[in-house]
Structure 1
Amino acid sequence: MTSEYRHIPVLLTECIDALDLPEHPVFVDATLGFAGHSFEAAKQLGSDGLLIGIDQDEVALSSATEKLESIPADRRPELGLLRGNFGDLDELLCSCEIPGIDAILFDLGVSSVQIDTQSRGFSFKENGPLDMRMDPGKQTLTAEEIVNTYNAADLTRIIRAYSDEKWASRIADFIVKARADAPITESGQLVDVIKAAIPASARRAGGHPAKRTFQALRIEVNSELTVLRRGLDAAVRWLNPGGMIVVISYHSLEDRIVKDTFASFANRCTCPPELPVCVCEKQPILDLVTRKPQLPTPEEIARNPRARSAKLRIAQKR
């Protein structure tokens, strides 16, 4: 991947339309990045709106601040740009002293600045230290520690569960064998081990052979699925009536969590199916705007290959 196309916001028009921002809106970009989506949203917010942007990467936050502040003052919304993780959404929004929000966007996955920075170890295409922490200042667990200390069973479990890698057990065994000779400290070393573990015939299709294992390690390092569940639950609580929640996911594990979370708030009845009427009185909290996810058009994928696996889901607070 090149930074040129990874800086292009995915499903931009669809997201801005879905946010449906009202007058005097409070909009939260829970994954601010380089403010690709927020820059366009700010034009709708105007000077009467409040834009709260959240990112845990200092470089991205600084770049986003500069971009958003380039909007003329008389057309720029009030900005509240916060360093943090959307898993801590309750704490972050409490610090803004607001009663609720009108729309929130999650653009999940790894940001371009993280992939581009070789020392972060996210990329399987460039050699670097096996780190993969999204917030090195607060996190201690690294991919290097996982690769060199988890036993074969635990390595198999996370690789299989977080990536659907069919060769998970074999990759785990090869990792354990390789680290017995010397610690695996760099991404290039790990790529070589993974390539050796996957038979040559299986490496000819399905993209880079290390892609799925690197995804699994990244998810484990950053507790991404747990953080996502926590962030989505908090977002629904903070939404004002009529407020919109818009989520772009990039792999099936994320999309399944978004789908299930939305469904749990849209279908809250716990009555046995044989009862003719609901007696539990648990009312729906969300209405599903998208029953099936919106996908990028072939034209967008041609312009921006990062969009290839994107899925957009939208719901509205009752």
Structure 2
Amino acid sequence: MADLSTKYLGLNLKNPIIAGSSPLTSSLDSLKKCEDAGIGAVVLKSIFEEQIDNDSNSKVSETEEFLTHADAYEFVKNASMDREIDLYLTMLENAKKSLDIPVIASINCKKNGAWIEYANRFIHCGADAIELNHYIIAADIEIEGSSIEKEYFSLVKAARKQIKVPLSLKMGASFSSLANVLRRLDELSIDGVVLFNRFFSPDIDIESMSMVPAQMLSSEDEYTQSLRWTALMSEELRYDICASRGIHSGKTVIKQLLAGAKSVQVCSVLLKEGLTSVSKMTSELESWMDRHEYAHIADFNGKLAQERIADPSSWERSQYMKSILGAQKG
């Protein structure tokens, strides 16, 4: 029988499937259900630094008539922030006491925010690793791409200086030279990246003529972007790659592992099909490994990464006609 155990961020996982940040990882009861379903690790529902700040400011506004003294203002604002953090810390502590699988804390952080303090408090409560989420909409035409990149590097550099547990960055693909960004993150001694985050996207309701949220759940065909970049970079980087977005089946898990991912994060499939999808994916992975006589994931992990295949340029094809002609020749 195939051994599905693996390592990600130096953590021992019984299988490479991680429950990404979602409503399913926002309570102790849900976390227990994820573990019972066979998940390899959990990422707690992200705590949003920006939301905490907004909530704190809202609390201040509600009581501003009583806040004529500066100390009172700071007390109310900090008390509200502390309440949100304390709730998260309580869930984290309880999760560590109740679960046998790794528990990763997630912070969606702003520039020059208080997220470092949050991270250290999470570590004190037993978080096995910290996953940072950071995303900038480059909508200001006066700001050059290099400035955006510098902000990411500054964030990771500050985090690495303070955070002593494994550290990963869940990021998007919107960089002019993603390969260069990933390599420079390696120089900052990060332990892993998650490729890629699924961000909020706006849509338009044409009847009400108002802006509405677009579909937030991924579809089965959205895995190809992370698959390409995992294959392109997995042999180039010291740190681990965790593939994310559009992973709905064991077959897709296998593809990502062949490309060089050390693990995968799933979310939408759990919300769409329920936690029974975990056992379906692990069973498919195990059956495939047995069929191909692989005893361990390490036996095939990265087998189809760019540096290991006969035609490395095939991972870089982006033009429709080149892809069609390549398929016809094959």
* TM-score, length basis structure 1: 0.28
* TM-score, length basis structure 2: 0.27
